[in-house]
Amino acid sequence: MKENETSLGVARITELFTRDGRYLCARWGRPVAPVIFGLSDESLAIFREATRAVYHHAGHPLAETDPEMGANMMTFFLRGWDELAGVPDLDRLTGRPDLPARLRAQGADQYRLFRFDPDGAIRVCISFVNMGGRLADAHPGQLAETIAVRSTLTFACDVVPGPQLAVLIRAAYDPVLPKVAQDPSHALRLAARLAN
C-alpha cells in the first residue's frame, strides 16, 4: 500500500511507534477510567464526550473507576507549568522530580507518560496540558479529540486525529493482535488491516 495524504504505509506506522530505535506499540489492557482536572463544567463535558467517542471507536471499554487506582487516565489542564507545583505528590506520580523545569525549558505544550502492567499493556496514562501558551486559543472539541487519541496507544510522536489514524487505532485494538508488540513486523500486520 502506498503512503499518501489519506493512507498510512508500513514505514510511517513503524515511525509512529519507534522511539530511540525501539519499536513499541502498546494498547490498554484494562478498562479506561478517566478523570480530568482544571476545567470548567462546560469544557469538562466536551472532553468527556470526546474520550467516550474515541474509545468507543477503538472498541475499548471505559469504566467509572479502576479497582486498583480509582482513575487510571489522568489529564491535568494548567495555565502554566508553574502550576505543576500544586499537583499533590507530583514527583511520585510521574517519577520525574525535575519535570516542571524540563517542560519550561523545552517550551512544551503537552506532556504525556504511560505506566504498564506486567504483561506490557497500558496501565496508566497521565497527561499535562499547558493552556497558557499556544493552546490558549485551541478549539475545545479538536483539542479534546487530540488528547484522547494520543492516550490510546504508545505513539512515539504527537499524532493528529484523522480518518486513517482512527482506522489504525481500531486495528491496533483488534483482539487478534497482541496488547503489546516490540517487533517492527507488527507494523506490517497493522498496515494489512488498513489496506482492507
- Among 27, 35, 54, residue whose Cα is nearest residue 145: 54
Q: How far apart are CA 99 and CA 32, in angstroms?
A: 25
pLDDT tens digit string along 38-47? 998 889 999 9
CA dihedral 13, 58, 30, 23 (to 10 degrees): 0
Which pLDDT band, with edges at 50, 70 and 90, does 8 fall under?
A: confident
Residue 121 main-chain phi, psi, to 5 deg: -75, 155
Q: How far apart are CA 145 and CA 129, in angstroms?
A: 13
* Assigned C-alpha cell, 104: 519550561
Segment 141-152 shows an average pLDDT of 96
Q: If you classify domain 28-152 with CATH, what class do you get?
A: alpha beta
Residue 6 main-chain phi, psi, to 5 deg: -115, 5
71 three-class SS: coil
The pLDDT assigned to 1 comes to 27
83 three-class SS: helix
CA-angle at 187, arms to 47 and 118, nearest 5°? 65
The type of residue at 75 is T
pLDDT tens digit string along 93-126? 898 888 989 999 999 999 999 999 999 999 999 9
Q: How far apart are CA 168 and CA 6, in angstroms?
A: 12
Q: Where are the alpha helices (DSSP H) in 19-172?
A: 41-58, 90-94, 99-106, 140-150, 163-172
The pLDDT assigned to 3 comes to 35
CA distances from 60 to 44, 56, 74, 113, 147 (A): 21, 6, 17, 20, 16
The pLDDT assigned to 86 comes to 86
Which pLDDT band, with edges at 50, 70 and 90, does 88 fall under?
A: confident
pLDDT tens digit string along 65-87? 999 999 999 999 999 999 998 88
Segment 150-166 shows an average pLDDT of 96
How do the domains of the chain map onto residue ranges? 28-152
* Distance linking the first and last C-alpha atoms of the chain: 10
